[in-house]
Amino acid sequence: MKITVVGAGAVGATCADNIARKELADEVVLLDIKEGIAEGKTLDMFQCASLMGFDTKLIGSTNDYSKTANSDVVVITSGLPRKPGMTREELIGVNAGIVKSVVENILKYSKNPIIVIISNPMDTMTYLAKSVAGLDKHRIIGMGGTLDSARFKCYLSKAMDVSINDISGTVIGGHGDTTMIPLTRLATYNGVPVSQFLDADTLQKVAADTMVGGATLTGLLGTSAWYAPGAAGAALVEAIVRDEKKIMACCVSLDGEYGQKDICLGVPVVLGKNGWEKIVDYKLTDDEQAAFNKSADAVRNMNAVLDTLSL
């Protein structure tokens, strides 16, 4: 098993570090365009190996895609991060060109990888990657819903003052401050609906905090968060390479599911060795479906911007 992470910034490096520590692959390659960054970070990671008890081979590369040859899974984190006050959508002009180039270069050396997209705006970058790659749609996956669901569970745990590991919660729709949909109706605490523990106002606040979870961290940190995004990417990769058949919220290509076509959007999917294997129908209420449709409209408008760019 060989896994490549493209982009050695904070998110990419954290993702690669998690993958290495979990020993998800025999070899992990970290690639970046900036001289020495990937080499330095992978060396630093490997110096943790005897301390942390892992033995994954780590390779850093400055823009030499030949070192990514025959990768089974590729995680793309490349692109500009958000700054305070920026939306994910404002990154499209620069990041679209970067993601397109990365996908093309990866496919020169790896014929049929599973590609995981973390770069923002994530839904549109996933749609772009699918268009550029020409791979089976099940092999192109956007990470956003996995991270958003983790943030949802974080805020539920805080509101209830209970173990986060006893919380189940899912966020669907777009990976944007106004497009994601925390499914409060379906969230549970050890199998019991959270609505039995939290009143409607508190649940609404949890949902609102989840939706701006990324922006909150950007405001505090001065740049995009990295621990949870990196861990979310690694968790998604783990479900794939270990063929776990886990249900996780991911951005995937829809063809009529949830009432949408020709779009990549966050829905619950079963993950396994072939990528996303099937979409799970959560039987949305009319209000939830209306919110999902509104989210799809916003993402589709963003996808249309791709046509105006010189890619």
Asked if residue 93 has pLDDT above 90, the reply is: no
Asked if residue 75 has pLDDT above 90, the reply is: yes
Using pLDDT thresholds of 50, 70 and 90, give the confidence band for residue 90. confident
Catalytic site includes residue 138: no
What average pLDDT does range 268-289 have in this prediction?
A: 98
What share of the chain in percent tops pLDDT 90? 94
Pick the more confident residue, 14 or 91. 14
- At the top level of CATH, the class of 144-308 is alpha beta
Which pLDDT value is given to residue 259?
98
Cα–Cα distance measured from residue 210 to residue 224, given in angstroms and rounded to the nearest whole number: 15
Tell me if 268 sits within 8 A of 280, measured CB to CB: yes
User: Hey, is 276 helix, strand or coil?
Assistant: strand
Asked if residue 126 has pLDDT above 80, the reply is: yes
Using pLDDT thresholds of 50, 70 and 90, give the confidence band for residue 165. very high
For the segment 189-230, what is each residue's pLDDT rounded down to a tens digit?
999 999 999 999 999 999 999 999 999 999 999 999 999 999
Closest CA to 260 of 287, 299, 286, 304: 299
Tell me if 145 sits within 8 A of 91, measured CB to CB: no
Q: Which residues of 192-214 are buried (b: 16+ CB within 10 A; e: fewer)?
A: eebbeebeeebbeebbebbbebb
∠ CA 156-157-161, nearest 5°, is 120
Which pLDDT value is given to residue 83?
79
Task: Give binding residues for substrate as ranges.
Answer: 82, 88, 120, 151
What share of the chain in percent tops pLDDT 70? 100
Using pLDDT thresholds of 50, 70 and 90, give the confidence band for residue 311. confident
Which pLDDT value is given to residue 82?
76
**Superfamily for 2-143?**
NAD(P)-binding Rossmann-like Domain (3.40.50.720)
Asked if residue 155 has pLDDT above 80, the reply is: yes
Asked if residue 81 has pLDDT above 90, the reply is: no
Q: Which two tokens stand for residue 51?
A: 């301390």
Catalytic residue among 175, 187, 266, 292: 175
Task: Give binding residues as ranges.
Answer: 7-12, 32, 82, 88, 95, 118-120, 151
Residue appearing with tokens 């046509």? 307
Which pLDDT value is given to residue 87?
76
What H or E segment, with its residue span, contains residue 125?
helix 122-133
What average pLDDT does range 243-267 have in this prediction?
A: 98
What average pLDDT does range 148-170 have in this prediction?
A: 98
What average pLDDT does range 22-36 have in this prediction?
A: 98
Which pLDDT value is given to residue 277?
98
Q: Phi and psi at residue 284, in whole multiples of 5°?
A: -65, 150
Closest CA to 99 of 137, 142, 148: 142
Which pLDDT value is given to residue 120?
93
CA 226 from centre of chain: 12
Q: Where are the CATH 3.40.50.720 domain residues in the chain?
A: 2-143
Tell me if 41 sits within 8 A of 13, measured CB to CB: yes
Cis amide leading into 121 (omega within 30): yes
Tell me if 240 sits within 8 A of 275, measured CB to CB: yes
- For the beta carbon of residue 6, count every other beta carbon within 10 angstroms: 32
Task: Give binding residues for NAD(+) as ranges.
Answer: 7-12, 32, 95, 118-120
Q: Phi and psi at residue 32, in whole multiples of 5°?
A: -145, 155
Q: Where are the CATH 3.90.110.10 domain residues in the chain?
A: 144-308
Per-residue CA distances from 62 to 47, 168, 188, 198, 299 (Å): 20, 40, 45, 50, 33
Q: Which two tokens stand for residue 120?
A: 């923002």
